[in-house]
Amino acid sequence: MTQPYELTASEARKLIGQKKISSVELLKSCLDRIEKVNPIINAIVAIDQSVAIENAKQADKKTLNGEELNLLHGLPVGIKDLCMVKNLRSTSGSLINENHIPNEDDEIVKKIRNEGGIIFCKTNTPEFGAGGNTTNKVYGTTVNPFDIKKSAAGSSGGSAAALACDMLPLANGSDYGGSLRTPSGFCGVSGFRPSPGIVPTVDSSICLNPFSVQGPMGKNVIDTFLLLQAQADINCNDPFSSFNSLSLPESLNESDLSSIKMAYSSDLGCAPVDKNIEKTFLDKIETFKQNFKSSVRSHPDFLDIHNCFEIIRGFNYVSSHGEKYKNQKNLLGPNVVDNVKRGLEYNIEDLTWAHVEQTKIYKNFRSFFEDIDVLICPSASVSPFSHEKLFIDEINGEKMSSYMRWLALSYAPTMALPCAWSIPCGLDHLNLPFGIQLIAPAGFDSKLSEIACALENILNANEKTKRPKPII
C-alpha cells in the first residue's frame, strides 16, 4: 500500500482537494519518514513540528469548508537553510549564524506560504551555499541516499536527498554554479534553474548581477513546475523581474519532441568530464535522440569561461562576505574563505575584462539557439564522490585549478543567464544516479519545461533511463 509520504506533490495536492487525504495525515506521514530516515541521511536540519501541524489543521478546515484552495494547499515544503523562516533556526550552515532565529520570513518563503504550502523544515546546505558537497560545522554532512559513503553534492544537497528519500514532496533550492542542478543529478530528482527574475531575488547584495537564482526541486518535472508556479512573482526590488513570471501556463503540457531541434555535448567544449561519465552520457543520448526532429553534437563557444567565472564569482563573494572575512574569519569555513581571498586578489582591470568576456559568452550563447531549441549535457562531470571530500580535485588525472573547476558543466551556462532543468536519466557506470541538463536561453522557461516534461516520460518508459529510487 502506498504511504502518503510516497505520493508525488501533484498526486497529494489532488487527493487533498478531493478530501481523500488530509494535510495533517500527509504531514505526519512525512514526519514519521523523517524520524526513520533522516538520522542516516542528515538532510533535514531543523523542524517546526507543532506550528506545522497547526497550519496543516487550518488547511484541512479550508478544504472541509469548501473554500478556494491555492496551488500548494496542504503540501509540506522544505526550505533550504539559506532562506530565513520566521521563528525557525536559520543558520546558512555557518557558525556565525549558529543560533539565529529570524523574526520574519524571506520573500520566497512568504510566497510559498501564501500559496498554501506548509513550511515545516529546513534542508542542509554548505556554509552560505559555498560548496559542491553539503557539509558544514553546524549540522555536519548530508550523505547520498543511494550510497551513504557518497556525497549528495551541493549546495542544495539537503533538499535533493530529502526528496529522493520521500521525506517531503517539495523543496526549494538555489543555483549559482550548479547548486541546484548538481545535487538533483546526484540524488535522482528534478530541479529547475529559472531565468533571472522569474523567481524574484530581493536579498542579494548585488541585485544587478543575477547569477544566483532561487528555484524549485521535486520528485519529477510536474511537481517541480508546480512549485515554480508558486514561487514566480513580480517584485520591483528585483530589477530583472518582469511579466514573464506571470506567463507560465496553468498546467504543464508535453512538448511534441518531433518538432524540437536538439543539440548535445558531453563537455560543452570547456568542462573536464570523467571519461566514464562521458561514455554514460553518449550511451543515454542514443536511447532517446531519435525522438527529436534533429540532433547534433555541438555547443556554444564559452571562450575563457573559467577565468571569467572565477573573477565575477570572487567579486560577488567579496560583496556578500567581505566583512565576515575581515572581522569573523575564524568562524568561516574554507570554501567561503577561499572565494573571498581569490576575489580580493583581482583588480578593476580584471573585473572589466570579465564583464566584457561574459558579454561575448552571452551573445555566443544566444546566437547558438537561433537554430537550436534545447542543449543537453550531463548534470555533473563525475559520479557521486566520497562525502569526506569537499570537492573533486582531479578528473582523468588532471588536477583541478580550483575547488569549483569540476562544476564547469553548470557554471559555464550560468554565465549566459539561461534557464536549465536537471532531470534523472537512470544510473551511471557505478549504479549511482545519473542526471542530464536541459538548457535554453533566458525567457524560454515554459517551452523548456514542456520539453523536459515530454523527455521525462520517454526516459521513465525505459529501464535504462527511468528515475532511480534508493532502497532506504
Q: How far is the C-alpha of 202 from the C-alpha of 206, rounded, in Å?
A: 9
Q: How far apart are CA 83 and CA 43, in angstroms?
A: 15
Residue among 426, 176, 382 nearest 266 (CA):
382
Residue for grid cell 512549485: 227
Buried b (16+ CB within 10 A) or exposed e, 141-175: bbbbbbbeebbbbbbbbbbbbbbbbbbbbbbbbbb
Q: Which residues lie closer than 8 Å to 49 by C-beta, 6 or more apart?
A: 31, 120
Which residues are CB-neighbours of 345 under 8 A, at least 6 positions away? Answer: 314
The alpha carbon of residue 127 and the mean position of all alpha carbons in its chain are separated, in whole angstroms, by 16
CA distance 444 to 313: 25
**DSSP tag of 85:** B
From the candidates 29, 92, 179, 383, give the one annotated as an active-site residue: 179
User: One of 10, 23, 90, 155 is an active-site residue; which one?
Assistant: 155
Task: Let me know if 155 is a catalytic residue.
Answer: yes
Residue 179 appears among annotated catalytic residues: yes
Strands (E) across 182-240 are located at 190-193, 213-218
**Is 284 tagged catalytic?**
no
- Residue tagged active-site, from 28, 80, 150, 219: 80
Work out the end-to-end distance of the chain between its first and last CA atoms, rounded to an integer number of angstroms.
17
All 3 cell numbers of residue 468? 532511480
List all residues 6 or more positions away from 251 whose beta carbon is below 8 Å from its beta carbon. Answer: none
Supply the residues annotated as catalytic. 80, 155, 179
